Homo-oligomer: A and B are copies of this chain.
């Protein structure tokens, strides 16, 4: 699925999604958030002069929280950012694409620190307040000459224009084909608050975390522990529910920054405002997560896998994860073949506890299996459902009320093509 934003919110039946239909969606970028400037420039890390260096700066120090990859191998830039996030504050974020700055030895940490220091010296803050992200190929030292020039240019082009935000988004993309941005606005008292997000991610995508970078900026004031808690919960329900290929990268991070410049009072724990904020952040992250799935490497379809009626949430999670990861399910979806036996098979080996004689399977609105037994179904109807750009697969039990969902995509020739020669 390429483009066609509105479609991503068309499921009335989808838990979570329909709630966001009435959100006040803004067609803008991260610079829609008060006090945030951005830029995206080409410094030569990517071929063909594509933007590869993004800078995001808040006018004033922001509360900051982060969620990081659980891969025990971690890129150098990521390690630096994790350390700097401990204090819960940040003012700027510099991200390069085209090189992951990972597994290059001591140089890697030195380079990451240099990137932050260069930015700090130019925007007048402490190096400690600058976060660094890097995404791309592993095991090659950064071209610091290119980056030095790039940072100079990026600072000089910092702007609060919508376009500047779009360019920053472009600069963090790797194999992504569509930019991933989402902005919502809501009010706290008399004050308008804006939450904007941007993300990259297309391959090596799986929970905890994908090869993704996400930046969520907001202009409300929010206590740091609350921001961290909300980000963790929302990430779990959104970015951790996307699987492209089951691979988890060494460089993933989602960073949230809240600078308080909207003028609304500080949002505290367990208030109606906190709920509003969480919903806004979830709306933004849901949209980004679905865009990541839809833009999966080689994807031709966005697929939502849902499991409902299970005994425990853990069972539901195991089931959707196995189905969403199965190459056999995903190639069948690419081939528009209603091979539900593979869906049941994946559920069966998922480790989820369920009674195989109580499972129904639906592909879109078509029930193809009832109580574990094949139903005679209209192949033509199945085909027409599978030709859609957005497909919902449901596994329905009658054993409890736990449910979960995961977004994924189909598995096509292009996935193989893209990944057969990524590095060289």
Q: Residues on A close to B: CB < 8 A?
A: 70-74, 100, 102-105, 137-140, 203-204, 206, 208, 245-250, 325-328, 331-332, 334-335, 337-342, 344-349, 354, 356, 369, 372-374, 379, 411-413, 415-424
Contacts and interface: CB of A to CB of B under 8 A. Distances in A.
A246 to B, nearest CB: 7
A326 B203 CA distance: 12
Centre residue among A347, A419, A423 by max chain B CB count within 10 A: A419
A109 to B, nearest CB: 12
Given A245-B328, A325-B246, A341 B372 contact: no
A74 to B, nearest CB: 8
B372 A103 contact: yes
- Give the interface SS of chain A, mostly helix, strand, loop or mixed: loop
A71 to B, nearest CB: 4
Contact of A337 (B208, B341, B346, B422): B422
Contact of A245 (B249, B327, B337): B327
A328 B413 contact: no
A372 B73 contact: yes
Question: Ordered nearest first, which 8 A-B pairs have the shortest CB separation?
Answer: A138-B341, A335-B420, A73-B348, A139-B374, A331-B419, A248-B349, A71-B348, A105-B373
A299 B181 CA distance: 38
B348 A424 contact: no
A419 B332 contact: yes
Given A246-B246, A331-B415, 6 more contacts: A73-B347, A104-B374, A138-B339, A139-B340, A245-B327, A334-B416
Nearest to A141: B374
Contacts of A73: 344-345, 347-348, 356, 372
Contact of A348 (B72, B341, B379): B72
A339 B103 contact: no
Given A345-B249, A416-B412, A140 B105 contact: no
A413 B417 contact: yes
Centre residue among A74, A103, A354, A374 by max chain B CB count within 10 A: A103
A288 B67 CA distance: 45
A345 B416 contact: no
A15 to B, nearest CB: 26
Contacts of A74: 348, 356
A339 B423 contact: yes
A346 to B, nearest CB: 7
A369 B103 CA distance: 9
Given A71-B345, A105-B373, A139-B369, A420 B326 contact: no
B247 A342 contact: yes
A340 B139 CA distance: 8
Contact of A422 (B206, B332, B418): B332
Contacts of A332: 419-420, 422-423
Contact of A100 (B102, B341, B416): B341
Nearest to A374: B139
A102 to B, nearest CB: 7
A140 B206 CA distance: 33
Contacts of A250: 341, 344-345, 348
Contacts of A339: 138, 422-423
Nearest to A136: B341
A379 B424 contact: yes
Contacts of A374: 103-105, 138-140
Centre residue among A70, A325, A328 by max chain B CB count within 10 A: A328
A373 B331 contact: no
A331 B420 contact: yes
A334 to B, nearest CB: 5
Contacts of A334: 416, 420
A326 B246 CA distance: 7
Contact of A247 (B326, B337, B423): B326
Contacts of A420: 331-332, 334-335, 337
Given A327-B327, A344-B103, A416-B334, A354 B203 contact: no
